[in-house]
Amino acid sequence: MAVMTTLAVRNKGLRPAPMVERNYAVHRHGWIMIISGLLESLFYLFSLGVGVGALVKQIELPGGRMVDYAVFVAPAMLANAAMNAAVAETTFNVFGKLKWMKLYDGVLATPMRPRDVAAGEITWALIRGAIYSAAFLVVMAALGLTDTWWAVLAFPGSVLIGLTFSGIGMLATTYFRNWPDFDWMMAFIFVMFLFSGSFAPIENYPSWLQWAVYASPLYHGIELLRAFSLGDLSPMLLVHAAYLAVVGAVCMGFAARRLSKLLYK
Amino acid sequence: MISARGLIKRYGDHTAVDGIDITVPKGQAFGFLGPNGAGKSTTMRMIGCVSPPTAGELRILGMDAATQGPAIRARLGVVPQDDTLDTELNLLENLVIYARYFGIKYKVARERARELLDFVQLSDRAESKVEALSGGMRRRLTIARSLINEPDLVMLDEPTTGLDPQARHLVWERLFRLKKRGVTLVLTTHYMDEAEQLCDRLVVMDGGKIAAEGTPRQLIETHVTREVVELRFNTEDHSAYAEKLDGAAERVEVLPDRVLLYTDDGESSVSEVHGRGLSPASVLERRATLEDVFLRLTGRTLVD
Ligand SMILES: Nc1ncnc2c1ncn2[C@@H]1O[C@H](COP(=O)(O)OP(=O)(O)O)[C@@H](O)[C@H]1O
Ligand SMILES: [Mg+2]
C-alpha cells in the first residue's frame, strides 16, 4: 500500500529524471560526441566572429555606441549554439528513439507517461546545452569578447533559449515522417539564423522583414544574450524572455499531447 | 485481476477487438489462442494500459484502465510481441534503467538486475550490447525485464515465437516457476503445446471475437471428439471419399491429402472403414488435441 501511495502522489508531478539517467548511461562512454559538439560551436565563433571581425572592424549599435564586430557577433553565436544543441537533441535523437529504436514503446509500459518522456528528453537537451554554453561563455570572456559581469546572466539566458528550442524541436519531431523532413528543418533553421540579427542590427533591415524577424524566437534569444554580454540592460529584455518562455511552454504542452497520440495506439 | 466487459478497439473503420468479455482470477495462467490478426496483441496492449479501448469496461488489479494507467502499469510486467529493449545499453543497464522507470531505488535495482540475469541464465553476458544477442537471449532478457518490478501480473505476447526448442523449454521452465510463486500469467501463443502445458484456462480468439473459452480439456471435449483417426488413400483426390465415409464417425473432414474422422471410439471407426470395403494406405489413431479445436474453430484457410 505504501508503494502505491507514493506512486500515486508522485504521478501528479512530472518525472523527467529516469529518462535523463538513461541518456546519461548511454553517453557515459561517449563523451567524445559532446566534446565535438562543443568544438563545433567554438569553431563557429572563431571563424565568423574573429575571422570576419578582421575585415569589419567596428559596428555601430542602434544607440550610437561603437563596438568591435567580434563582440557584437559572439553572443549571437552563443544563442545559435544553444539553439542547435537543443534542436539536435530533440529532433534527430528523439526521432531515432521514437521511430527506429522504438525505445519509448518499452518505456511507456512502465509508470512513465508521454509527458515524463518529453520532460526527460528536454531536460537532457538542456543539460547538454548548458555545458556547451558555460564553456562558450568562458572562452568568450578569455578572448575579451565581453567585459562585464552582466555576461554571467547570458548563461541562464542561453538555457532559456535551449528550453524554447527543445519545445519546438520536440513538437516538430512528432510531425516528422522521415529523414528528408529534417533537411527542410535544417534549411529553415539556417535561414532563421541568418535573419535574426546575428550579423547586423535588425534596424538595418527593411521594415516588412523586421516584422517577420520579431516572430523568430532566435531573434529574441540573440537580443537577450547580446544585451547581457554588452551590459546594455533595458526593460525590453523582459519581453524577449517572456516570448521565449511562452513559445517554449506552448510547444512542450502540444508536444506531450502529440506524443501521447503517437504512442498510445 | 482482470475483468473486461464489452471491450472494443477500432482502428479507423477496422475493428481489431470486437466486444470481448474476460475474467482472469488471481494466480491463474490465462492464454489467448488465435490466428494472426485475431486481435490478441491489441487486447494485450489494452490490458497493459498502452492502448486506450474504444469502448467497454476494463478493470485491472481493481483499478480502472482508462484513468489509472500509471498505477496499474506499476504492478504489471510486460513482454511485448516485438522486443523493445534499449539497444544503446548493455544487458545489466537495460534492467537497471528499466527499474528506474518504475522509481525503484538504484541499489535495489542493481541487486534485482543481477538476480534476474541469473534467473534467465544471462549473467555471463551482463556487459554485452543487446545487438550481440540471439533471438532467444533477447526474449529471455525481455522476460527478466518484465519481472524487475516484482509484478503481480505478467503479460506475455508470444513469448516463444521464433525460438529454437532449447530456448523455448528454458522459457517455459522459467514461466512455470513464476506460476508456482503465485504470479498471475496472461499469454498469447499459437503453439498448442505451449497453451496446453502452461495455461489453466484459454480463450480462442478469431476476428476480434472470442470463439471459445475453457480449460484445455474442456475445449477438446466441447468442440471436438475424444479421438481422431487420420486416413490416407492412394489417390490424388481425397474428396471422392467424403460420400463413402459418410456416417463412419461423428464428423468427417476431407483435406487435400487426408481424411479426418472425429470419433469417441477410434477402433470401431477404423473397423467401420474396413467394413465398408475401403483400404486406406495408412491409418493413424490419436487423441484429439487443442490443435484440432483450434483448426475447427478458426478454419484452415491461411490468414496473414
Ligand atoms: N496500430 C494499428 N493500426 C491499425 N491497425 C492495427 C494496429 N494494430 C493492429 N491493427 C490491426 O488489428 C488487427 C488485430 O491485430 P493484432 O492484435 O496484432 O492481432 P494478433 O496479435 O492476434 O495477431 C489486425 O487486423 C491488425 O492489422
Ligand atoms: Mg500479435
How big, in percent rounded to 5, are the helix, strand and coil portions of chain B? 35, 30, 35
Residues A63-94 have pLDDT tens digits of 888 888 888 888 998 999 999 999 999 999 99
Q: How far apart are CA B117 and CA A92, in angstroms?
A: 32
Q: Are residues B110 and B162 in the same domain?
A: yes
Residues of B whose CB is below 8 A from A8: 71
A-proximal residues of B, 130-149, CB under 8 Å? 149
pLDDT of residue B130: 93
User: Which neighbouring-strand residues pair with B259?
Assistant: B231, B254
Same domain as B235, residue B185: no
| Interchain proximity A21–B89, CB inside 8 Å | no
Count the domains in chain B. 2
Residues B233 and B90 in one domain: no
Kindly give the pairing relationship between strand B55-60 and strand B63-64. antiparallel
Selection from B77, B87, B84, B79 nearest residue B133 by Cα: B87
B125 and B208 co-located in one domain: yes
**The three cell numbers locating residue B244:** 463413402
Phi and psi angles of residue B98, each rounded to the nearest 5 degrees, phi first = -60, -40
The answer as to whether B302 is a domain residue is no
Which 3 state secondary structure label does DSSP give A57?
Answer: coil
- Higher pLDDT residue, B296 or A159? A159
Say how many Å lie between the CA of residue B42 and the centre of ligand 1: 6
Question: Which residues form ligand 1's pocket by a CB distance below 6 Å?
Answer: A 265; B 11, 14, 16, 34, 36-42
- What are the start-end ranges of the E strands in A43-115? 58-60, 66-68
CATH number of the domain within which B275 lies: 3.30.70.980
Band the pLDDT of A12: cuts 50, 70, 90: low
Q: How far apart are CA B63 and CA B2, in angstroms?
A: 9
Q: What percent of chain A has pLDDT over 70?
A: 93
What grid cell was written down for A192? Answer: 532563421
The answer on B200 and B144 residing in a single domain is yes
Is pLDDT at A5 greater than 70 in this prediction? Answer: no
3-state helix, strand, coil in chain A (%, to 5): 80, 0, 20
Q: In this structure, are B177 and B246 located in the same domain? A: no
- B208 against A61, higher pLDDT: B208
Q: Determine the distance separating the centroid of ligand 1 and the alpha carbon of A6, expressed in angstroms.
A: 35
Which of these three, B201, B220, B239, is where a domain ends?
B220
Q: Among A47-51, A170-174, B106-110, B165-169, where is mean pLDDT lowest?
A: A47-51
Along the 304 residues of chain B, how does pLDDT read in single tens digits?
899 999 999 999 999 999 999 999 999 999 999 888 999 999 999 999 999 999 999 999 999 999 999 999 999 999 999 999 999 999 999 999 999 999 999 999 999 999 999 999 999 999 999 999 998 899 999 999 999 999 999 999 999 988 888 888 888 998 999 999 999 999 999 888 888 889 999 999 999 999 889 998 888 888 888 888 888 888 878 877 777 778 778 888 888 888 888 888 888 888 888 888 888 888 888 888 888 888 888 776 655 4
Q: Please, which pLDDT band fits residue A48 given cuts at 50, 70 and 90?
A: low
Q: How many CA atoms lie within 13 A of B201 on its CB side?
A: 12
And the C-alpha cell for A215? 516572430
Ligand 1 center from residue A257 Cα (angstroms): 23
pTM for the model stands at 0.87
pLDDT in tens, A87-142: 999 999 999 999 988 999 999 999 999 999 999 999 999 998 998 899 889 888 88
The b-or-e profile of A237-247 (16+ CB within 10 A means b, else e) is beebbebbeeb
Q: Would you say residue B301 lies in a domain?
A: no
Residues 6+ apart with CB under 8 A from B260: B228, B229, B230, B231, B252, B253, B254
- Assigned domain for B293 exists: no
Q: Which chain B residues have a beta carbon less than 8 Å from that of A263? A: 50
**What residues pair up with B282 in beta bridges, in sequence order?**
B232
Q: Is B266 on the interface with A (CB under 8 A)?
A: no
Question: Do B184 and B234 belong to one domain?
Answer: no
Contact present, B263 and B269 (Cβ < 8 Å) = yes
Domain that holds residue B80: 2-220
pLDDT band at A1; cut points 50, 70, 90:
very low
Render A95-107 in DSSP notation, one character per residue: HIIIIIS-HHHHH
pLDDT at residue B227, as a whole number: 87
Look at residue B241 and tell me if it is in a domain: yes
* Alpha-carbon span A131 to A129, nearest angstrom: 5
Q: Going by C-beta distance under 8 Å and a sequence separation of 6 or more, which residues neighbour residue B194?
A: B160, B168, B172, B187
Atom of ligand 1 nearest to the CA of B9: 12
The C-alpha atoms of residue B98 and residue B86 are separated, in whole angstroms, by 9
- Count of Cβ atoms closer than 10 Å to residue B234 Cβ: 8
CB atoms within 10 A of CB A23: 22
Mean pLDDT taken over chain A: 87
Asked if the Cβ–Cβ distance from B88 to A264 is below 8 Å, we say no
Cα maximum dimension of chain A: 71
Distances (CA, A) of B293 to B10, B190, B252: 28, 12, 14
- The answer on B131 and B96 residing in a single domain is yes
Q: B190, B220, B250: which is the final residue of a domain? A: B220
Asked if B82 and A102 touch (Cβ cutoff 8 Å), the reply is yes
Closest CA to A222 of A141, A147, A164, A172: A164
Residue B252 CA to chain centroid, in angstroms?
28
Q: Is the pLDDT of residue A249 over 70?
A: yes
* Structural domain spans, chain A: 17-263
Question: In sequence order, which residues have a C-beta less than 8 Å from that of residue B157 and are 6 or more positions away?
Answer: B40, B41, B44, B79, B80, B81, B187, B188
Q: What is the CATH number of the domain that holds B121?
A: 3.40.50.300
Residue B249 lies in a domain: yes
Helix (H) or strand (E) holding B232: strand B227-232
